[in-house]
Amino acid sequence: MTGPMYTKLVETLPSAVPFVGPETQERARGRSFAARLGANENVFGPSPHAIAAMTKAAGEVWQYGDAESYDLKQALSRLHSIEPENIIVGEGIDGLLGYIARMFVEPGVKVVTSQGAYPTFNYHVAGFGGELVTVPFKGDYEDPVALMEKAAEVGARLVYLSNPDNPMGTVHSADVIQAAIDAVPENCLFILDEAYIEFAPDGHAPALDTEDRRVIRMRTFSKAYGMAGARIGYGIGQADLITSFNKIRNHFGLSRISQAGALAAVQDQRYLQQTVQRVAQGRKRIEEIAAEQGLSVVPSATNFVAIDCGQDAAFAKAVLDQLVARDIFVRMPFVAPQNRCIRLSVGTPSDLSLFELQFPLALEAASGD
């Protein structure tokens, strides 16, 4: 009996995922986490209006979602003062990155990204046979100049950068990002991932130019809007590029529930600003908790904070393991020198109180004292 015939590419890929989720870890541990601070989730959740809209839509879930996301596109058009034809809505930024990889990547195509940057993008590139070319961080920042220089050097078809950055939380000014857009080489598309941009202060996002064919801007409802479980995000770009998604996307990939929640969330900007303020307060508290232990944090413009543990990656991993053993879910960057840090999301006040209690114990245990 013969089995299914996989493609040669799929046969070469590992059976792996970019991240091991907290639920998987909980099953392996045999118990739940007391504080879920590792997944860059927004614990403050969506607008009450979004929850109400999703609850209502649940009664209509026998219907497919709108394949064109018409109402949501209209609302996003008004929010950003752009045309609906410059917006593509999809299954979160992750889903849209997969579509971009499908459109632009094939075996042998070179793609440039930062070493240690968002691994899900790399996962999609590998899935279509692309060749990843990486550029190191400059300090705790991605290096837009080096990324564009490398893209030109290797003839990359795609170049990826997140601003604010994941995993470090740092952010470049709008002028720096615009200079990167202006430097995109011929026949290359710049994927500017702005998943966390709502948390950043003003002056860090260039003006939207929907006639510029060199860049696609990615936004999400998973972070500031508090809807990670709904899996919905969008891209902003030149109209022909946006239309090209229709050639390969899953036209009915979004549920009515997600679409209804996202629409209501866009229409409640007051709640969004309240969330941004609460996150800023949480970041400040994490900085204070770190300072109590004589440690510093990497300045963050996101809903998470990287704490510099003051030693090497092995020590940071030991601290992480000690926190997990104490039922606090956190993560850490993968690549040196950023992996000297642990990283935690802004949690509820009770989450952060628990972290404040356990963090010095974890540091002590990791030190062997």
Q: Are residues 214 and 259 in the same domain?
A: yes
In a domain, 127, yes or no: yes
In a domain, 184, yes or no: yes
In a domain, 323, yes or no: yes
Q: What is the distance in angstroms between the CA of the first residue and the CA of the last residue of the chain? A: 59
Q: Are residues 237 and 294 in the same domain?
A: no
In whole angstroms, what is the distance from residue 41 CA to residue 266 CA? 18
Q: Are residues 159 and 34 in the same domain?
A: no
Q: Are residues 264 and 274 in the same domain?
A: no
Instruction: Choose the final residue of a domain: 268, 300, 326.
Output: 268
In whole angstroms, what is the distance from residue 239 CA to residue 235 CA? 11
In a domain, 183, yes or no: yes
Q: How many domains does the chain have?
A: 2
What is the predicted pLDDT for the residue at 169?
98
Q: Are residues 261 and 310 in the same domain?
A: no
Q: CATH number for the domain including 248?
A: 3.40.640.10
Instruction: Choose the final residue of a domain: 243, 268, 293.
Output: 268
In a domain, 3, yes or no: no
Q: Are residues 181 and 297 in the same domain?
A: no
Q: Are residues 200 and 276 in the same domain?
A: no
User: What is the residue-wise DSSP string for 193-235?
Assistant: E-TTGGGSPTTSSPPP-TT-TTEEEEEESSSTT--GGG--EEE
In a domain, 2, yes or no: no
Q: Are residues 274 and 350 in the same domain?
A: yes
Q: CATH number for the domain including 28?
A: 3.90.1150.10
Is the pTM for the entire model greater than 0.85?
yes
In a domain, 256, yes or no: yes
Q: Are residues 124 and 148 in the same domain?
A: yes
Instruction: Choose the final residue of a domain: 213, 245, 268.
Output: 268
Which parts of the chain sit beneath pLDDT 50? Answer: none
What is the predicted pLDDT for the residue at 19?
82
Task: For residue 18, give the DSSP letter.
Answer: S
pLDDT digits (tens, 9 = 90+) for 258-292: 999 999 999 999 999 999 999 999 999 999 999 99
Cα-Cα-Cα-Cα dihedral sign, residues 263, 264, 267, 273 = negative
Whether residue 343 contacts residue 331, with contact meaning beta carbons closer than 8 Å, is answered with yes
Q: Are residues 167 and 304 in the same domain?
A: no
What is the predicted pLDDT for the residue at 67?
98
Strand stretches in the chain, DSSP E: 35-36, 87-90, 110-114, 131-135, 158-162, 189-193, 215-220, 233-236, 296-298, 304-308, 328-329, 341-345
Q: Are residues 244 and 308 in the same domain?
A: no
In a domain, 339, yes or no: yes
Range of the domain at 262: 49-268
Q: Are residues 116 and 181 in the same domain?
A: yes
